[in-house]
Chains A and B, each alone.
Chain A
């Protein structure tokens, strides 16, 4: 089983920090226009949100595993709900690698696997180095093409 790149923790922490700041701004707006919120409470909420976010990010990294098995892509993830998913290669419709602005800062990339299913229809592996993402995309595409010739739906 492979884990994600350790830097993904920083990425997630950055995202959580952004969320905490957004929460702080929301509370400040409430304070300004609706009811008084003591500044201390505001600070405490933001700090708490941030700490929880950091803990969540670290735990999430600890839990995240994936593996390219003989017949399927296998993933394990989830802090609150732990999910183990198997995506058979035959069922892969197409594969993306992508990185957004925040990911670019950290030099990370994600692979997104699309299936025709109704739920879990797109499976994302975050926190990969761009080269690794590229390799996974190539492997998955090859396996998807080789594993079956009849259509997947």
Chain B
């Protein structure tokens, strides 16, 4: 079993030291308030004790955290008082992510996270390992997974000759695995950096894990260093400077607005001073206490403009930093990506774990003819910060994105069908109700404030027809040979390509209103890990008959695809169902 990088001992000691310090202090104060026997003054004693105990715990945690690569599984054993040992079969691994913050990059460290579809959080988080170890792990896991798959395929067909595997019928994926194996087998000839190289780490010298009974894999385990990523890493996409800038300027992150609000509450006085002084040249009040209604109005308008502009700038800067130098490639059976200016991310997604791909574009991006592409797996838990999907192409020319989607999934160009016009009527009614609510709210406000002329709010009704129309025209679906394509949304139009093979459940939903109009919505669920805000792909408001048809087609084609896949697996072929 391997240990983490020695520096993580220091990191854990600091982390737990301060955690226990605060816990000990708060607990002493709290209990001192409740029970007379405990003096609050003991804090001065409890705090250093907590710090020392926490630091000791942190160091012990480092010594008790072990991970290793075995022929079948990736193992992690952790915990000082409470122990956990976990075995993750290679074929269950969904994503392997490597994250490097600014300081970690300076120190040559990285955080490796391994995700499977089970469990809510990251299944194995290695804080920290050295950069070369991270690369080695990514590479090892990839090789091992291919190996296990090969072994399984070989065992599944005892009758088939080994020559079959190398027959011309062998497709890209298995030949990749083949070359991966041969290239890996030659690797031990190269000087293994952790044996004598200057980049030697104490954690990998004793390590190299695995069964000693398996000399081949043992030898391969020693291979580390940047070159072990494999020579055949094929580049699929790189974000050009122009595209990066366009992406930064045309996308808006709600998180930026949230961050700004957080900042405002954190430093309210300073923020208000700044806002008042910013509004002064435009006729705002000299200070907050004294001003006329007009100057307050000006202050409000200027502050809102300020807020929007600042949030936008934050969003642009964040996007720029996060997607700087984005690259997507393919290595063996995995997609690999890298991105980030200050904090560096890199990850790998097994091609056959991809659940669905989604093309997104907001109105601005559609105007200039650009779109982005997102890949989804089932790996991330609901609490993960990545929101469950990884960008394959942040932003590129629409045509290019569509071509890319087609090669990635094998989907034909979709010819979208629209919902019936009764759906349009439904949206008109829905938005009319929203508008009526707005007017009612204005009326209520007028009752309690000096504002009059509440009926001016009725102007929102003008927006109802265009809003309903825009919602309607952006809806569409296509029932393809191997895939279902669903398009929806105006502000962020999402076109999701779902292979029938990935369908988890299909549901036809009809609300009371839909039943009156003879409409239905079809929810096609895949094993995604999307957050609460990104709902599962839904075909909204189609005729009940069509919905039932698609429902049946989806189910039927899932079974057909499964049979094909099983057959292909039997004959040694693999088919990319993504």
Which residues of A approach B to under 8 Å, CB–CB?
71-72, 78, 80-88, 90-91, 115-121, 123, 147-153
Contacts and interface: CB of A to CB of B under 8 A. Distances in A.
Contacts of A71: 555, 559
A81 B525 contact: no
Contacts of B515: 82
Interface string B349-369: 000010100000000000000
B506 A86 contact: yes
Nearest to B379: A153
B505 A91 contact: yes
Given A85-B506, A117-B526, A120-B525, 19 more contacts: A80-B512, A81-B511, A82-B515, A83-B509, A85-B507, A86-B506, A86-B507, A88-B503, A88-B559, A90-B558, A115-B504, A117-B528, A118-B525, A120-B507, A121-B525, A123-B505, A150-B566, A153-B117, A153-B353
B509 A81 contact: yes
B551 A118 contact: no
Contacts of A148: 562, 566
A83 B509 CA distance: 4
B144 interface: no
Interface stretch (B31-39, B293-301, B529-537): B529-537
The 8 closest A-B pairs by CB, nearest first: A116-B527, A117-B525, A117-B504, A153-B117, A85-B507, A84-B508, A82-B510, A119-B536
Contact of A84 (B551, B562, B569): B551
A116 B504 contact: yes
A80 B514 CA distance: 10
Given A118-B528, A118-B536, A152-B527, A87 B512 contact: no
Nearest to B509: A83
B496 to A, nearest CB: 12
Given A84-B508, A118-B528, A150 B503 contact: no
A139 B559 CA distance: 19
11 contacts: A78-B509, A82-B509, A85-B506, A86-B507, A86-B551, A115-B527, A116-B378, A116-B527, A117-B528, A118-B528, A118-B529
Interface string B542-578: 0000000001000100110010011001000000000
B378 A153 contact: yes
A90 to B, nearest CB: 6
B91 interface: yes
Contacts of B505: 85-88, 91, 115, 117, 120, 123
Interface residues of B, number: 35
Given A115-B504, A119-B536, A151-B92, A72 B555 contact: yes
Contacts of B508: 83-85
Contacts of B536: 117-119
B523 interface: yes
Contacts of A123: 505
A84 B507 CA distance: 5
Interface string B514-526: 0100000001011
A132 B353 CA distance: 36
A119 B523 contact: yes
Interface of B: 91-92, 94, 117, 353, 355, 378, 503-512, 515, 523, 525-530, 535-536, 551, 555, 558-559, 562, 565-566, 569
By DSSP majority rule, is chain A's interface helix, strand, loop, or mixed?
Answer: loop
Nearest to B525: A117
A52 B371 CA distance: 49
Contacts of B566: 148-150
A83 B526 CA distance: 17
Contacts of B558: 88, 90
B555 A86 contact: yes
Nearest to A84: B508
Contacts of B510: 78, 81-83
A134 to B, nearest CB: 23
Contacts of A91: 503-505
Contacts of A151: 91-92
B530 A118 contact: yes
A119 B535 contact: yes
Contacts of A121: 525
B205 to A, nearest CB: 36
A42 B504 CA distance: 46
A90 B527 CA distance: 13
Contacts of B565: 150
Contacts of A153: 92, 94, 117, 353, 355, 378, 527
A62 B529 CA distance: 34
Contacts of A118: 525-530, 536
Contacts of A82: 509-511, 515
A131 B366 CA distance: 57
A117 B536 CA distance: 9
A80 B511 contact: yes
A120 B508 CA distance: 12
A151 B502 CA distance: 11
A72 B435 CA distance: 43
A72 B554 CA distance: 12
B535 A116 contact: no
A132 B510 CA distance: 29
Give the interface centre of B94, B505, B558 by most chain A CB atoms within 10 Å: B505
B507 A83 contact: yes
A96 B449 CA distance: 57
A75 to B, nearest CB: 9
Contacts of A81: 509-512
A78 B521 CA distance: 14
Contacts of B535: 119
A151 to B, nearest CB: 7
A74 to B, nearest CB: 9
A72 B507 CA distance: 12
A139 B287 CA distance: 74
